[in-house]
Structure 1
Amino acid sequence: MIGARFANYAHHTRPAIFCRRIVTPSDRNFGKVGGRHPQRILSTLNPLKLQSKDYLDISGHLETTVAFPHSKSGRGLLSYYSTAPRGTPFQHQPFPSNSRGFLYYSRDPQAAALEGSIRLRLTSDNTPSSFLDGRDLRLPWGSTWQLILPQIATQMSHRRFSDQLLHEKLVTQEQLSQCTKLFGHRCRWVPSLTLFRLSQEFPLHFEGRPVLTVVGGSLHQLELPWIFGHPPRAWSGSGIARFEPSTSPEDAGKRIVHMRIIKITEPVVCADEKRSRLVPRPVEGQLVMVNLRGVPKLWAYDIEKNTVLGAAFRALWDASHLPTQPSWHMRPR
């Protein structure tokens, strides 16, 4: 089921940016399917300044609108949780049960220039102290539910969020302007398929070719080759992956990238017995292997190649703060 849902995102043949018009309800805020919910006023998006009144319950809501004391214009829309495959009775899925916690702005200390996102930290109660013991809301395929900074900066439906982030000095006007310059005002994104640096995790469907959007000084399309075999595919299933720089002594001084399967989110199943003898099985926690002339080897890509893929990887590499210790890719996350 997870793989079926993720397939709607994973099999795109273009970058993870969609430019089709979305018809949304008015700013009066539609919440649960078939019902309306009053607009919520939150005091902050800074996790260090949360108050009990910022506790938010959007369980079962399809859309929810929030505001802030300094809201000026536009909307603060939290739209549908995820999108089911076309052909299902309800394409847009409401937020799952127990979607209760604190909305906040997250930015990794090693974040790239335009990296950052609004997330929902699920907590046991409405006390701000429960924030540290909580966990971020996840999508069905394991990625974090979030509104990334380019979304917030370029869509009127998120204008209140950008106003609040500026007011709290969590982002700068320069960051918002750069997002607008790169993306314009007409597009929406699949946040889980948008990367800013190497170590970010992304969903991976073993029967498809991931197409990622890379955000750097410009936009890049990162369309990987058929790592798990050309159709017919050898394996089915889904996982969470990330790219890592090679730490092999033989690659010293080179910029070589590997891929690691962080987590298996849907069991790996043999999809073609003959092909599975040639294509190494994806294994949780391990680097991806490929078959080269009958010999299993690590999948690797030299990012200095003068290719579209090489340019995308260089943007990710240049935006990453890479430690020098060889055990970097084994650090717990």
Structure 2
Amino acid sequence: MLSTLTPSLLTESDYLNLSQKHTIRLSFPLSAGHSYLLYYELDRKNVQTPFPAHARGFFYFGPRPGLPLFAASLRFRCTPTAHPSSFDDGHDLLLSNGLPWQRLLVQAVMSTFPILRDQLLREGHLTLDGLERWRIRLDGRGGHVFSSRWLFGLHQQFPVDFGVDMNLVVVGRPHQDR
């Protein structure tokens, strides 16, 4: 059970050792006994790969510099100690492709992870008004949102597997020809 996702409010009790675990269940004090399951990554056959041996640290939520709030994500910060003061000395957990492990805010907005959404509302990272605006923009996208496949700017790195079909969705203001 985590007390917060806000880096400045972390305590030693929020420190987790995910080393070699295939999944982890997260919950929060006000999540009414509910939790949600997180995994590190899936291989090509959809088999879960365990978290790496160095995966010890803190889950946190944070915006990404130069990108809109909607690009913010739940991430895992690997730290040298269990003390929250080591947060800045740590590094974000990376996937095997070199991109950060994350669960995007868009997943919370689309109610894939309602416990995450509710916690972000409680901590003030989200507002109900903002949540509704994004839900309207994403209406009809289904509930399947994959963290590594969303771009919020053309300068972002992203993996591409040309061996599978791709579906591109653009969310933003419509372009008007003049």
**Matched residue SS, 1:48:** helix
Question: Which residue is equivalent to 2:171?
Answer: 216
**1:49–1:160 distance in 2 versus 1, CA, 3 Å:** same
Cα distance per residue 1:40-61 (max 9 Å; x no partner): x111100111111100112222
Select 1:77's aligned residue among 32, 37, 40: 37
**Matched residue SS, 1:104:** strand
Instruction: Report the alpha carbon displacement of residue 152 of structure 1 after superposing the two structures with TM.
Output: 1.9
Count of residue pairs the alignment pairs up: 175
Select 2:5's aligned residue among 17, 42, 45: 45
**Matched residue SS, 1:102:** strand
Higher share of residues assigned strand: 1
Instruction: Check conservation: 1:154, 1:184, Cα contact below 8 A.
Output: no
Question: Which residue is equivalent to 2:68?
Answer: 112
Instruction: Check conservation: 1:195, 1:214, Cα contact below 8 A.
Output: no
**Matched residue SS, 2:7:** coil
1:61 matched to 2:21? The reply is yes
Amino acid at match of 1:152: A
Select 2:118's aligned residue among 163, 174, 187: 163
Matches for 1:224-239 after TM superposition, within 5 Å: none
Q: 1: distance between equivalents of 2:29 and 2:120?
A: 12
Cα distance per residue 1:71-115 (max 9 Å; x no partner): 24753332x2111113xxx72222122211000002024322522
Unaligned runs of at least 5 residues, structure 1: 1-40, 221-303, 307-333
Identity level (%): 36
Question: Which residue is equivalent to 1:122?
Answer: 78
1:143 matched to 2:99? The reply is yes
Amino acid at match of 1:178: R
Instruction: Report the alpha carbon displacement of residue 208 of structure 1 after superposing the two structures with TM.
Output: 5.8
Q: 2: distance between equivalents of 1:59 and 1:137?
A: 11
Matches for 1:1-333 after TM superposition, within 5 Å: 41-72=1-32, 74-78=34-38, 80-86=39-45, 91-156=47-112, 158-181=113-136, 182-183=138-139, 186-204=142-160, 211=166, 213=168, 216-217=171-172
**Matched residue SS, 1:166:** helix
Amino acid at match of 2:2: L
Give the alignment's TM-score, normalised by structure 1.
Answer: 0.47
Amino acid at match of 1:51: T
Larger radius of gyration: 1
Q: 2: distance between equivalents of 1:179 and 1:97?
A: 36
